[in-house]
Amino acid sequence: MFNKSKENTAPQGEVMTFLEKGAHFKGSLSYEGTVRVDGEIEGEIMTQGTLIVGERGIINAEISAGTVIVGGRINGNIHATQKIQLLPKSMVTGSLASPCLIIEDGALFNGISEMKRAMEPSYQSERSLLGG
């Protein structure tokens, strides 16, 4: 039930919850800490923590999280305040928004992505700096 691969290691002291293969969840999920999904979720996921989608995980949801690491499939938009990482066997369809986006070789991504720094200057400020 518990796999000790490096993909599902959480920072020391952080509680990790698992949704195993064969488990189905439908609705709105909010939590603190880290959750690894190898089952199926449909609906909405909201956390400031970490969402890890294992290779067997399937998510059809709107996701708002601190960090999202994808090894399985996601259909839906992902907004991460820290990082989105698409692992080699992942398949993601939807919009991605995060200050850090990592797409590894072998990952499939169909959608649009948006990356902004936390303190990105406004368009007007950029124009005045460029003499426009």
What is the DSSP secondary-structure string of 3-20? ---GGG---TT--EEEE-
CA distance 87 to 54: 10
What's this model's pTM, rounded to 2 decimal places? 0.78
Report how far residue 78's alpha carbon sits from residue 82's, in angstroms, rounded to the nearest whole number: 12
Higher pLDDT, 128 or 32: 32
pLDDT of residue 116: 82
Compute the half-sphere exposure of residue 15: CA atoms within 13 Å on the CB side of its CA: 4
For residue 60, what pLDDT is reported?
A: 98
User: Whole-angstrom Cα distance, residue 115 to residue 92?
Assistant: 17
| Digit-coded pLDDT (tens) for 82-101 | 999 999 999 999 999 999 99
Q: What is the pLDDT of residue 131?
A: 52
> CA 103, CA 106: separation in Å to the nearest integer?
9
- Residue 17: the pLDDT is 83
Contact 16, 35 (CB under 8 A): yes
The pLDDT of residue 7 is above 70? no
Query: pLDDT for 91-132, tens place per residue?
Result: 999 999 999 999 999 999 999 999 987 645 444 444 444 554
pLDDT at 72 > cutoff 90: yes
Smallest Cα–Cα separation from 64: which of 73, 54, 76?
76
